[in-house]
């Protein structure tokens, strides 16, 4: 008997809205200055209300925390500072009760050097099975062409271990030795750890740093056939014993190089689209759609049961590995005026400061990841436009406590402020007194309300998570226009036209929509019918950084209004023939989406 996951649809991840958070940063329940699972449980209602459907938790396992928990010292327990296994289980159950899936980290490329496996390995005789858990060498010359990822910290991928009297291999920090997947015992331990969490009911696993599992002479030690065989084995183990569980690949590579991580639909269910992300920022700054259309043209089709994961920001630097040298220079120039904003090959800033706290730009960028083919991921705090702290080391400036209210420590903790794991952001623009959940909940025009509406709207249309993508080519390259299409199970075809103005000035565009002649575009946030489409080019005018999502609805058959209808009712019927569930905006003059917290209306079917 397979163990059921909490989701009921095998493709649940395609319709998901993922919210990425660190338990450490979310809510401290015991006043020790560090977030914990009881605290997180107390904030689940907020997340449910926001509308996100899947919670991605950054690593919460026992760890010396020298890489924010990606340096794991025990795969099958909870770091006591965040709570107990029972607390995690309680969190999992509470999330499931609210209809949210849970995604956790499976960091199998490396462990902490404090992991008992490494301690045993360095003390075990050379060549013994225990020593063999990691990758050792008597010299540091092997695999010399392999790039260094944390180049600001590390000078080599080899580190000398005094106890073992040998070098060990590490793709990340030197305190994170790489596991040796040529040793069958390693794979067995990994599968054991994986089953531990899946048995408990975890729905999804993010496969951290997955391209680097194997090393071979004469290669870049990335994406080797052995690595794909290992992933297939992991996937087969999941499919054999569990239902509706998924794995998400973290492979920071070009789309054509990521494609093999989906296999024939028998490797990872999802993979991050790394190269799209910096190009969204580039397109915005250059006011030109080309970076986006270009990278999407280079994105190969993926199997039907697979999905891209789309994001604007996450817990790491805004990585610039997947851009050309010129593009990287441009991104540094455009988005990191202060050298302190740079780290490794990227920029360590949050979404709001990256776009100069410009609300329209924030909305525009979100509209793109919410309407592109894939599953969008919201990084905690970005839904309220939190700022960062570039004076903290490493990537910690984007990992500060969540802002809940204007009280002490932003409502995150009752500890004395000095005791917090990181200080809360306090500057006048992004500080917690200005930017916090409580204030934004009481402000109907806040970014938080806007985000909630966008999430609600997206969830009404499967086309966003599942449909096809076709770009239109209006001559004005400041305008990005694309069609999303999807045929629902009942045969209804959802067709959505998205139009985005990447410019800081108003822009016109003429769209070739002749194939939809007769259809009526209905603006989806306000449910406002636009002029019908004809054989002529369709004219749209966009204010700076604005976007439209327009559902293309078939031409209404002109109904004869019964004599008893008032003029207003008759006009409404003419606009929405056959639609029995249209609700008028809550207040007569309130097409403003922020006024409507529940977008429950259904479109015509």
Q: Which is nearer to ligand NOJ, 12 or 274 (CB)?
A: 274
Cβ closest to ligand NOJ, residue 108 vs residue 296: 108
177 vs 115: CA distance, rounded Å: 10
What binding mask, one character per residue, do residues 501-540 give for ligand NOJ by CB under 6 A, x or -?
----------------------------------------
- Say which residue the tokens 């903290």 belong to: 392
Cα dihedral 208, 213, 215, 219, rounded to 10, equals -60
Binds ligand NOJ by CB under 6 A, chosen from 20, 36, 113, 208: 208
Least Å distance, CB 129 to ligand NOJ, is 25
Give the C-alpha separation, 249 to 99, whole Å. Answer: 24
Residues in contact with 528: Cβ distance below 8 Å, sequence separation at least 6, in sequence order: 522, 591
Residue 107 CB, shortest distance to ligand NOJ, in Å, is 6
70-99 residues near ligand NOJ, rule: CB under 6 A: 70
350: CB partners within 8 A, 6+ apart: 313, 379, 381, 382, 386, 387, 388, 398
Per-residue DSSP letter, 473: -
Q: What are the backbone dihedrals phi and psi of residue 565, each rounded to the nearest 5 degrees, phi first?
A: -75, 145
Task: Spell out, one character per residue from 459 to 498, where the chain touches ligand NOJ: x when CB under 6 A holds, - when not.
Answer: ----------------------------------------
250 is catalytic: yes
**Which pair of tokens denotes residue 443?**
């402000």
Name the residue with tokens 């699972």. 37
Q: Which is nearer to ligand NOJ, 316 or 383 (CB)?
A: 316
Measured in residues, the chain has a length of 605
Distance in Å, CB of 51 to ligand NOJ, minimum: 25
Dihedral of the alpha carbons of 420, 422, 428, 431, in degrees to the nearest 10:
-70
Shortest spacing between CB 72 and ligand NOJ, in angstroms: 9
Please identify, using beta-carbon distances, which residue of 150 and 527 lies nearer to ligand NOJ: 150
With b meaning 16 or more CB within 10 Å and e meaning fewer, what string describes 134-163?
bbbeeeeebbeebeebbeeebeebbbebee
Would you call 258 helix, strand, or coil by DSSP?
A: helix
Report, in Å, the least distance between residue 68 CB and ligand NOJ.
6
| Shortest distance (Å) from residue 321 CB to ligand NOJ | 12
Q: Is 209 in the site for ligand NOJ (CB under 6 A)?
A: yes
Q: Within positions 219 to 258, which residues make up the interface with ligand NOJ, using CB under 6 A?
A: 250
Instruction: List the one residue from 172, 330, 464, 538 that touches ligand NOJ (CB under 6 A).
Output: 172
Give the shortest CB-58-to-ligand NOJ separation in angstroms.
8
Please compute, for residue 21, the number of CA atoms within 13 A of its CA located in the half-sphere on the CB side.
Answer: 27
Closer CB to ligand NOJ, 150 or 549, in the complex: 150
- Give the separation between CA 229 and CA 417, rounded to whole angstroms: 49
Q: Of residues 15, 36, 87, 208, which has the active-site annotation?
A: 208
Q: Which residue is nearest to ligand NOJ (CB)?
A: 70
Q: Is 432 in the site for ligand NOJ (CB under 6 A)?
A: no
Structure tokens, 9: 């649809």
Site mask for ligand NOJ (CB under 6 A), range 288-327, x = bound: ---------------------------xx-----------
Minimum gap (Å) between residue 377 Cβ and ligand NOJ: 13
CA distance 406 to 412: 10
Residue among 402, 397, 395, 414 nearest 448 (CA): 402
CB of 390 to ligand NOJ, least distance (A): 17
SS3 content of the chain, % helix, strand, coil (to 5): 30, 15, 50
CB within 8 A of 281, min separation 6: which ones? 318, 331, 334, 335, 354, 365
**Rounded to whole angstroms, how far apart are CA atoms 103 and 209?**
16
Residues 97-116 that bind ligand NOJ (CB under 6 A): 107
The backbone torsions φ and ψ at residue 44, rounded to the nearest 5 degrees and listed phi first, read -65, -30
By the 8 A CB rule, do 309 and 377 touch? yes
Nearer to ligand NOJ, 227 or 439 (CB): 227
* The pairing of beta strand 270-272 with beta strand 318-319: unpaired
Task: CB nearer to ligand NOJ: give 293 or 396.
Answer: 396
Q: Which of 267, 399, 257, 262 is nearest to 321 (CA)?
A: 257
Catalytic hit among 28, 203, 250, 382: 250
20 contacts ligand NOJ (rule: CB under 6 A): no
Can you name the residues that pair with 270 across neighbouring β-strands? 248, 307
Binding mask 33-72 for ligand NOJ (x = CB under 6 A): ----------------------------------x--x--
- Nearest distance from C-beta of residue 264 to ligand NOJ, angstroms: 26
Q: Choose between 67 and 382: whose C-beta lies nearer to ligand NOJ.
A: 67
150 vs 404, beta carbon nearer ligand NOJ = 150
* Smallest distance from ligand NOJ to CB 112, Å: 10
Q: What is the Cβ-side half-sphere exposure of residue 154, based on CA atoms within 13 angstroms?
A: 20
Residue number, 22 or 361, with CB nearest to ligand NOJ: 22
Is the Cβ of residue 70 or residue 169 nearer to ligand NOJ in the bound state?
Answer: 70
Q: If DSSP codes are grouped into helix, strand and coil, which group holds residue 1?
A: coil
Q: What is the DSSP string of 309-365?
A: EEES--SS-EE-TTS-HHHHHHHHHHH-SSGGGEETTEE---HHHHTTT-HHHHHHH
Total of residues contacting ligand NOJ (CB under 6 A) = 9
Catalytic residue numbers, as ranges: 208, 250
Which positions touch ligand NOJ (CB under 6 A)?
67, 70, 107, 172, 208-209, 250, 315-316
């Amino acid at each position: 008997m397979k163990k059921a996951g909490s989701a009921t649809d095998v493709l649940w991840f395609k319709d998901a809205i993922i919210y990425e958070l660190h338990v450490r940063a979310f809510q401290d329940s015991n006043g020790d200055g560090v977030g914990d699972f009881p605290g997180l449980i107390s904030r689940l209602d907020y997340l449910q209300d926001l509308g996100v459907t899947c919670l991605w938790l950054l690593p919460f396992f026992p760890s010396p925390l020298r890489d924010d928990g990606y340096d794991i010292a025990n795969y099958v327990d909870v770091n006591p500072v965040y709570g107990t296994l029972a607390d995690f289980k309680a969190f999992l159950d509470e999330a499931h009760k609210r209809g949210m899936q849970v995604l956790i980290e499976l960091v199998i490329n490396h462990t902490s050097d404090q992991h008992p496996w490494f301690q045993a390995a360095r003390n075990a005789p050379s060549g013994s099975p225990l020593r063999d858990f990691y990758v050792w060498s008597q010299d540091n010359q092997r695999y010399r062409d392999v790039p260094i990822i944390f180049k600001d910290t590390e000078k080599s991928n080899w580190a000398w271990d005094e106890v073992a009297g040998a070098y060990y291999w590490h793709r990340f920090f030197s305190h994170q030795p790489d596991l040796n997947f040529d040793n069958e015992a390693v794979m067995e331990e990994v599968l054991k750890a994986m089953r531990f969490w899946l048995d408990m009911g975890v729905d999804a696993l993010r496969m951290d740093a997955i391209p680097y599992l194997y090393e071979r002479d004469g290669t870049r030690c990335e994406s080797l056939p052995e690595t794909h065989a290992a992933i297939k084995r992991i996937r087969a183990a999941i499919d054999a014993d569990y239902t509706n569980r998924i794995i998400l690949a973290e492979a920071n590579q070009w789309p054509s190089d990521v494609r093999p991580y989906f296999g024939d639909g028998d490797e990872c269910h999802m993979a991050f689209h790394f190269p799209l992300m910096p190009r969204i920022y580039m397109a915005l700054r250059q006011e030109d759609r080309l970076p986006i259309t270009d990278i999407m043209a280079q994105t190969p089709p993926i199997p039907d049961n697979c999905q891209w994961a789309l994001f604007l920001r996450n817990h790491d630097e805004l990585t610039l590995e997947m851009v050309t040298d010129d593009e990287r220079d441009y991104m540094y120039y455009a988005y990191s005026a202060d050298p302190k904003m740079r780290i490794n090959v990227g920029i360590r800033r949050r979404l709001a400061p990256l776009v100069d706290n410009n609300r329209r730009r924030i909305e525009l960028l979100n509209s793109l990841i919410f309407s592109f083919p894939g599953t969008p991921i919201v990084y905690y705090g970005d839904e309220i436009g939190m700022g960062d702290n570039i004076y903290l080391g490493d990537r910690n400036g984007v990992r500060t406590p969540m802002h809940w209210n204007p009280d002490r420590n932003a409502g995150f903790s009752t500890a004395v402020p000095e005791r917090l794991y990181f200080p809360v952001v306090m500057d006048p623009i992004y500080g917690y007194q200005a930017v916090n959940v409580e204030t934004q909940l009481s402000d109907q025009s806040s970014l938080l309300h806007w985000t909630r509406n966008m999430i609600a709207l997206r969830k009404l249309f499967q086309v966003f998570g599942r449909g096809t993508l076709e770009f239109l080519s209006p001559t004005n390259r400041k305008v990005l226009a694309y069609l999303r299409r999807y045929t629902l199970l009942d045969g209804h075809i959802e067709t959505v036209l998205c139009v985005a103005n990447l410019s800081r000035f108003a822009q016109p565009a003429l769209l070739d929509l002749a194939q939809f002649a007769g259809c009526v575009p209905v603006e989806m946030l306000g449910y406002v019918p636009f002029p019908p489409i004809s054989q002529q080019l369709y004219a749209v005018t966009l204010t700076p950084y604005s976007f439209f999502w327009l559902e293309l609805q078939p031409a209404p058959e002109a109904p004869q209004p019964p004599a008893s209808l008032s003029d207003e009712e008759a006009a409404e019927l003419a606009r929405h023939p056959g639609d029995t569930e249209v609700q008028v905006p809550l207040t007569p003059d309130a097409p403003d989406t922020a006024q409507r917290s529940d977008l429950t209306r259904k479109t015509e079917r």
